[in-house]
Structure 1
Amino acid sequence: MAEEPLAGALGATLGADLVAAVDVPALDSAAMDGYAVSGEGPWSVLGRSLAGRRCPVVRLGGGEAVEVATGAVLPDGTTAVLPRELATESSGAVRGGIGEGRHIRRRGETTAAGTPVARRGSPVTPALLGLAASLGRDTLPVVRPLVRVLVTGDEVVVEGAPRPGAVRDAIGPVLPGLVAWAGGACAPAVRVPDRGRDLARALGVAGPAEVVAVCGSSSAGPADHLRPVLARLGARVVVDGVACRPGHPQLLAVLPSGTVVVGLPGNPGAALAAALTLLVPVLSGRADRRDPAHAGRRIGLIGPTGPHPSDTRLVPVRVSQDLAVELPVSGSADLRGAATADALAVVPPSRVPGRVPGRVELVEVPT
């Protein structure tokens, strides 16, 4: 946990309860433009009080008034604020009808000192930043897990059109926004050649509180070194593949240092599904905040894809009212459906062919 200035805390997770240290408002103040009055009218107008300035009158006696702007501090003895539109002023006196106590913002009425206003684990939203500022805070205690990204593959290029036999890295650009959505921070991606010793060296520099996302190398091919390297480093494998399509060769392990390693498949569509399945929940758990991808929303599904006999399918969909409409996808390397999707529909396995009956759960995606 760290104290961050308000300007840099957006998107992080509140690391401790936010408790009001001051009353808001600090003193009784006017809720409307008009006149602070005392007792019954008509009232003699003694002066004018503006927001942010000292009131020229300390106390009002019966039959006295002060012209006030919204937010102005009220003098002692004020029994109501008469709105300007209900007031008639002439010859230094004001008249109008108003009930006692009307249009006064009492000290601490919005927030009393000592009141918890946001709980630990709350995402730091724009509104929460405004609330913190209104309470006089300049910093917030926040948690923002750091994710280091290792992009493996000698065939992967990071800029320009790929040459024949090469592919452009489409996973690295996905992760910073996804990580930020889950409350983390993403370090710049590091290229790692397809050699076990290079991958082991890259994993060895991560700190114990960090999460490492390894893009590629999570399957069982001759260039997939992640599992052997983790074994040599003494890692504890927590998840070794998930029965879902796309994204089944994903992996979750913990190094002896405490570093969490998330292995993502090399195909971009599969990597996105795996990141939503493992990386986002890991970051949410580290920050003790709600997992934004798994809110439990269920909805009817329309589309041609039937259930797989043994694996869960994750299908990109557009959501319209209470229906999810499947988007076309041409395989685990394809991001076209996900790029315009509102969510991924979770299609459970079934050995009965045909359309998915009833309602399906949605995995939310950042939009």
Structure 2
Amino acid sequence: MTTWASAHALAFTAARPLGPVPLPLPAATGLVAAAGTVAARPSPAFDAAAMDGYAVAGPGPWRVTASVLAGRSGRAAITPGEAVEIATGAVVPAGTTAVVPYERCSRTGDLVTAAAPARDHIRRAGEDVAPGELVLPAGRTVTAVAAAALAQAGVAEVLVHPRPRVATLVTGDEVVLTGPLGPGQVRDAFSGVVAALAARAGAEALPPRHVPDDPAALSAALAAAGAEVVAVTGASSRGAADHLHRVLGALRAQWLVDGVACRPGHPQGLAALPDGRWVVSLPGNPYAGLVAALTLLEPLLRRLSGRDAGSVDTRAVDGEARPFPGGVRIVPVVLTDGRASIVPGARPGGLRAAARADALAVLPPQWQSGTPARLLALP
């Protein structure tokens, strides 16, 4: 089996970000920039008033000759002794030496007086960014603030990595996606977790699809998945109803990870199809499947979406757990005062303990209570 650390790292490094596409700013928000984006025009685009008051030329007093609001044309220029009443953001006439705020002025009729201003209160064209200057580096997420800065700089579209799509194939005759349960049936416990992890990784989860325990049906579902990544829940072990290995073998898939030295979740896997798509195999037991999704699915989706591998959180872990001599034991923990405490009662088939937790702790074989371990944030 692959070690947990190697499997987790390989799921990120084996892939490459999806090819970049140009998108308008609203559609690009939330995605990762595939190239540095430079300003198309200066910001501000013109000399603009930074305060409400009077644009004045030369020493005072000044005679008010016009007024101008933001977004409207006004006097093109003023000469010494003249002033223009001006609003914040309005174009400053040529010849203006300062904008004097209302609160510092005294006006009688069309005559304004004020002490010599200490500041000019003018935002000069290009003082924030000049044309051709870098606004957003490659690899940065186009946040709402970044999109606003790009819009100020005259950028209409950005080259970004598109969202990878992940299709969830929920296998098993006993699994029900919706509706009442019959005898021996269980509710799907995977598709919501996959959707949450996809959103966190910058991907898009397609509606889940149920696949019966039939190799032909699984092969057809894989062919029609319509996504760059296919997450298959169940069918990953070696039982009579586990067909994934045989189906992927017929499709000439390459297994990069086929089993991970961890408990729970060891039957997980990652395979590459010849057409460039990825298959992530998640064990059928819900808690084991959650472990596998955090181990393989999330780092793969982060890489495809152009994100980095994410930060590593390591804390001292207190509590009782039986280390796994051949690999790592992964347990739910709650976080308090900079430490992690194990939530008891975790079992491969149940999610109750994980539902009470903030994260999963990856305990190495030598772990003892109070020693540090890596944490995986829960969705």
Which runs of 5 or more residues in structure 1 are unaligned? none
Query: Partner residue of 1:34?
Result: 53
**Alignment match, 2:9:** none
Q: Name the counterpart of 2:346.
A: 330
Q: 1:48 maps to what in 2?
A: 67
Equivalent of 1:90 in 108, 121, 124: 108
Greater Cα offset, 132-141 or 231-240: 132-141
* Residue 374 (structure 2) aligns with: 361
State the Cα distance separating 1:53 from its structure 2 match: 1.0
**C-alpha distance in structure 2 between counterparts of 1:51 and 1:94, whole Å:** 21
Output aligned runs, 1:18-33, within 5 Å: 18-33=37-52
| Structure 1 residue matching 2:321: 3-state secondary structure | coil
Deviation (angstroms), 1:87:
2.3
* Distance verdict in 2 for CA 1:267–1:93, change over 3 Å: farther
Match of 1:313 among 300, 322, 329: 329
Counterpart residue type for residue 268 of structure 1: P
Which residue matches 1:254?
272
Q: Partner letter of residue 219 of structure 1?
A: S
Partners of 1:97 and 1:135 lie apart in 2 by 35
**Aligned match of 2:128:** 110
Q: Which amino acid aligns with 1:23?
A: P
Aligned residues: 359
Distance 2:345 2:81 in 1: 77
Q: Does 1:58 align with 2:72?
A: no
Residue range with higher mean Cα deviation, 180-189 or 140-149 = 140-149
Task: Decide whether the 8 Å contact of 1:182 with 1:291 is kept in 2.
Answer: no
Match of 1:269 in 2: 287
TM-score by length of 1: 0.89
The answer to whether structure 1 residue 200 and structure 2 residue 208 are counterparts is no
Whole-angstrom distance in 2 between the partners of 1:83 and 1:275:
59
Question: Per-residue deviation at 1:12?
Answer: 2.6
Q: Map 1:44-193 onto structure 2 (within 5 A).
A: 44-54=63-73, 56-99=74-117, 102-142=120-160, 143-193=162-212
Bigger relative contact order, structure 1 or 2 (CA pairs below 8 A, ≥6 apart):
2
Counterpart amino acid of 1:217?
A: A
State yes or no: 1:229 paired with 2:247.
Answer: yes
**Aligned 8 A contact 1:306 1:356 in 2:** no
Aligned to 1:291: 309
Counterpart residue type for residue 373 of structure 2: V
> Cα 1:66–1:158, aligned 2, differ >3 Å: closer, same or farther?
same
Which secondary structure does the structure 2 equivalent of 1:284 belong to? helix
Q: Distance in 1 between matches of 2:93 and 2:196?
A: 51
CA contact (8 A) 2:286 2:351 kept: yes
Which residue, 236, 255, 258 being the options, matches 1:218?
Answer: 236
Residues 193-228 of structure 1, C-alpha deviations (whole Å, 9 max, x = no match): 111122122223356x71111111112222111112
Question: Share of identical aligned residues, percent?
Answer: 47
**Inter-CA distance 67–259: structure 2 relative to 1 (3 Å threshold):** same
| CA drift at 1:191 | 1.4
- With over 3 angstroms needed to count, the CA separation of the structure-2 counterparts of 1:80 and 1:324, relative to structure 1, is farther
SS at match of 2:42: coil
Residue pair 1:12, 1:184 contacting (<8 A) in 2 also: no
Q: Is the 8 A contact 1:82 1:103 kept in 2?
A: yes
Structure 1 residue 100 displacement after superposition: 5.9
Q: 1:60 to 1:279 in 2, by over 3 A?
A: same
Change (3 A) 1:304 1:44: farther
Pick closer, same or farther for the CA change 1:173–1:120 going to 2, 3 Å: same
CA distance in 2, matches of 1:272, 1:307: 19
CA offsets per residue over residues 138-185 of structure 1, 9 Å max, x none? Answer: 443332112122111110001134333111001012212211211111
